[in-house]
């Protein structure tokens, strides 16, 4: 007796079809699972046997062999419990699913010992790909995953709570109403923030820098003494960024789905992610990894913001792995038999104190650090990493007079209204979903047209700041964004001068290291 059931697993953020083949034959009573299963799948033999027993089904006294094909694809997790159980029921004739039903359906789910179907990771990613690439019309999965899966339209979602419920459904003894799509309801939810830039006293230059960062997707570094407001400023950056597009919502939600961070209460990521990992995070925690690679904080911040506070407290090697994702907008994790790529299109916001005590250059408190301590403190910031951070801002502690002023006129809404103008300019220039920060060398030459005075100022800055070619291009890209905010076709002297001020901090840090 033989049966074949279809399931799927996730490789990176993509779903791969897995055929669950079940064969029941005479021989020594045993239960084998082959096809590169991990330990969780091997242990499913006990879960499935007990779940079937507690659902009123007695396994036949036969040799049961389960093959997860393709056999050269590693499988992990517990989502194959349900398809294996369904395959056994189909092979023994305890249920009789039609051929067309089986071929059009994916089965996913973990089984408890009492036959309850438990939720699994990756329901959204698998449901999306089952419709787009696997040509499936239906998916049977745990009831707790239906809200997540129902975000995908034009596919039938069958949610089940127990194995007994599915057996009754398969025998046509009861009807399960497919879960209707919730996509249109959820996408109507608007971004609502309880924080606003109007709550930030003073810090006019820092707000301006964040406006430029949001408009052109420029990475930004804040340096300043403790309590100056670096974290407060960074937390408000999402309030001046455009809403996620349809494509971005699905991309971001798929990443959270495969890490198990979606639920019926939050079945969709419709606000730009803001991830702020602690400085003790490991390299694998930041970029992703593991025996079966999972996304790290960089990918969880995809289409949003990665905020690294206390930047110099991170391990230097951990910081260096940021270089490739910042350039390529993805993370590649190599294993012996495969390379998995996770998306990582992020806006990096970093913050640090200028020295171990935190008060180097502060107007109110003197620095008590020795020069060697400052050198060692800043040594973790390599030149190549700083080269990839476009805007570098010194944030000073505010004065008492700033505290007593009325709320700032620069509300998030006002700042965003100006940003929309720059975004429209970039869409006309590059098409949708591209920004000045991603300009190629040829595009920089084509679109960053300087007035004569701006050209002379940039030449002087190139020599004075000892800029690399990357640094030179960064200034041009920043100048292009500032000109877009002003609705100007050419980059003027004032635009390039402002852009240069956002790159001069790197030279200051280099001097501190070598003094």
How far apart are the C-alpha atoms of 238 and 443, rounded to whole Å?
A: 28
How far apart are the C-alpha atoms of 280 and 264, rounded to whole Å?
A: 31
pLDDT exceeds cutoff 80 at 409:
no
pLDDT of 299: 95
Shared domain for 421 and 445, answered yes or no, is no
User: What are the DSSP E strand ranges found in 169-299?
Assistant: 220-224, 274-275, 288-289, 294-295
Question: Does residue 106 sit within a domain?
Answer: yes
How far apart are the C-alpha atoms of 291 and 340, rounded to whole Å?
A: 12
What are the pLDDT digits (tens) for 334-356?
877 778 899 999 999 999 998 99
pLDDT of 361: 81
DSSP assignment of 139-161, as one string? EEEEGGGHHHHTTSSSSEEEEES
Q: Of 121, 155, 185, which closes a domain?
A: 185
DSSP character for 171? T
Shared domain for 235 and 91, answered yes or no, is no
pLDDT band at 59 (very low <50, low <70, confident <90, very high): confident
Question: Does residue 190 sit within a domain?
Answer: no
pLDDT of 227: 86
As a whole-number percent, the residues of the chain with pLDDT over 70 amount to 93
What are the pLDDT digits (tens) for 438-452?
999 999 999 999 999
Q: Of 428, 456, 481, which closes a domain?
A: 428
As a whole-number percent, the residues of the chain with pLDDT over 90 amount to 61
Shared domain for 371 and 476, answered yes or no, is no
| Among 144-148, 273-277, 463-467, the least confident range | 463-467
Question: Does residue 260 sit within a domain?
Answer: yes
CA distances in angstroms from 254 to 142, 247, 292, listed in the order given: 17, 11, 17
pLDDT of 408: 56
Shared domain for 368 and 412, answered yes or no, is yes
What are the pLDDT digits (tens) for 256-271?
999 888 876 677 788 8
pLDDT of 21: 97
Question: Does residue 434 sit within a domain?
Answer: no
Shared domain for 408 and 451, answered yes or no, is no
Give mean pLDDT, residues 306-323. 92
Shared domain for 269 and 209, answered yes or no, is yes
How far apart are the C-alpha atoms of 215 and 237, rounded to whole Å?
A: 11
| Among 42-56, 59-73, 95-109, 406-420, the least confident range | 406-420
Question: Does residue 515 sit within a domain?
Answer: no
Question: Does residue 513 sit within a domain?
Answer: no
DSSP assignment of 199-235, as one string? GS-S-HHHHHHHHHHHHHT--EEEEE-TTSSHHHHHH
- What's the CATH number where 81 sits? 3.30.230.10
pLDDT exceeds cutoff 60 at 25:
yes
Shared domain for 11 and 75, answered yes or no, is yes
pLDDT exceeds cutoff 90 at 482:
yes
- What's the CATH number where 275 sits? 3.40.50.300
- Total domain count, the chain: 3
Q: Which pTM does this prediction carry?
A: 0.87
pLDDT of 337: 72
Determine the structural domain holding residue 407 and report its residue range.
Answer: 197-428
The pairing of beta strand 30-34 with beta strand 2-11: unpaired
The answer to whether the beta carbons of residues 386 and 506 sit under 8 Å apart is: yes
Question: Does residue 191 sit within a domain?
Answer: no
Give mean pLDDT, residues 238-261. 90
pLDDT exceeds cutoff 70 at 229:
yes
| Among 184-188, 366-370, 479-483, the least confident range | 184-188
pLDDT of 330: 92
Question: Does residue 421 sit within a domain?
Answer: yes
Shared domain for 131 and 258, answered yes or no, is no
SS percent in the chain: helix, strand, coil, step 5? 45, 20, 40
The answer to whether the beta carbons of residues 286 and 298 sit under 8 Å apart is: yes
pLDDT of 261: 87
Shared domain for 157 and 279, answered yes or no, is no
Shared domain for 160 and 305, answered yes or no, is no
Q: Of 428, 461, 488, which closes a domain?
A: 428
Shared domain for 114 and 175, answered yes or no, is yes
Looking at per-residue pLDDT, the higher value among 435 and 267 belongs to: 435
How far apart are the C-alpha atoms of 149 and 295, rounded to whole Å?
A: 20
pLDDT of 95: 95
pLDDT of 449: 94
How far apart are the C-alpha atoms of 365 and 368, rounded to whole Å?
A: 9
Shared domain for 39 and 133, answered yes or no, is yes
pLDDT of 170: 96
| Among 360-369, 433-442, 493-502, the least confident range | 360-369
| Among 23-37, 172-186, 293-307, 426-440, the least confident range | 172-186
């Amino acid at each position: 007796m033989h049966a074949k059931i279809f399931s799927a697993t996730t490789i990176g953020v993509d779903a791969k079809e897995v055929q669950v083949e079940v064969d029941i034959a005479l021989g020594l009573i045993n239960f084998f699972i082959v096809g590169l299963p991990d330990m969780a799948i091997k242990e499913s033999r006990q879960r499935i046997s007990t779940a079937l027993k507690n659902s009123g089904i007695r396994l036949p006294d036969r040799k049961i062999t389960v093959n997860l094909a393709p056999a050269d694809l590693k499988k992990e997790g517990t989502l194959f419990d349900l398809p294996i159980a369904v395959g056994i029921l189909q092979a023994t004739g305890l249920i009789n699913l039609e051929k067309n039903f089986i071929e059009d359906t994916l089965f996913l789910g973990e089984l408890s010992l009492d036959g309850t179907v438990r939720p699994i990771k990756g329901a959204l990613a698998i449901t999306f790909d089952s419709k787009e690439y696997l040509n499936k019309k239906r998916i049977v999965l745990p009831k707790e995953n239906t809200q997540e899966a129902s975000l995908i339209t034009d596919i039938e979602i069958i949610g089940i709570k127990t194995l007994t419920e599915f057996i009754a459904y398969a025998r046509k003894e009861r009807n399960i109403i497919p879960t209707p799509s919730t996509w249109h309801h959820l996408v109507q939810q608007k971004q609502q923030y309880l924080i606003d830039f109007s709550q930030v006293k003073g810090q006019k230059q820092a707000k301006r820098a964040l406006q430029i960062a949001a408009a052109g997707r420029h990475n930004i570094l804040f340096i300043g003494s403790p309590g100056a407001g670096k974290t407060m400023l960074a937390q408000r950056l999402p309030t001046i960024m455009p809403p996620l597009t349809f494509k971005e919502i699905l991309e971001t939600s798929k990443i959270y789905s495969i890490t198990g961070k979606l639920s019926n209460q939050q079945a969709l990521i419709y606000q730009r992610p803001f991830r702020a990992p602690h400085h003790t995070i490991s390299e694998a925690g930041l970029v992703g990894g593991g025996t079966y690679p999972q996304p790290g904080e960089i990918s969880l911040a995809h289409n949003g913001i990665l905020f690294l506070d206390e930047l110099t407290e991170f391990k230097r090697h951990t910081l260096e792995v940021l270089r490739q994702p910042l350039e390529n907008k993805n993370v590649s994790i190599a294993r012996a038999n495969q390379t998995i790529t996770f998306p990582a299109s992020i806006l990096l916001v970093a913050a640090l104190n200028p020295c171990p005590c935190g008060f180097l250059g502060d107007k109110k408190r003197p620095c008590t650090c020795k020069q060697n301590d400052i050198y060692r403190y800043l040594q973790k910031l390599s030149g190549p990493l700083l080269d990839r951070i476009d805007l570098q801002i010194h944030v000073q502690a505010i004065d008492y007079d700033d505290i007593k002023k009325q709320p700032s006129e620069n509300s998030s809404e006002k700042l965003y209204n100006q940003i929309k103008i720059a975004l429209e300019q970039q869409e006309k220039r590059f098409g949708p979903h591209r920004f000045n920060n991603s300009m190629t060398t040829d595009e920089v030459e084509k679109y960053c047209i300087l007035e004569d005075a701006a050209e002379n100022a940039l030449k002087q800055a190139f020599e004075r700041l000892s800029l690399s070619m990357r640094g030179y291009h960064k200034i041009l890209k920043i100048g292009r964004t500032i000109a877009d905010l002003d609705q100007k076709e050419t980059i003027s002297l004032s635009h390039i001068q402002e852009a240069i001020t956002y790159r001069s901090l790197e030279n200051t840090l280099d001097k501190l290291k070598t003094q």
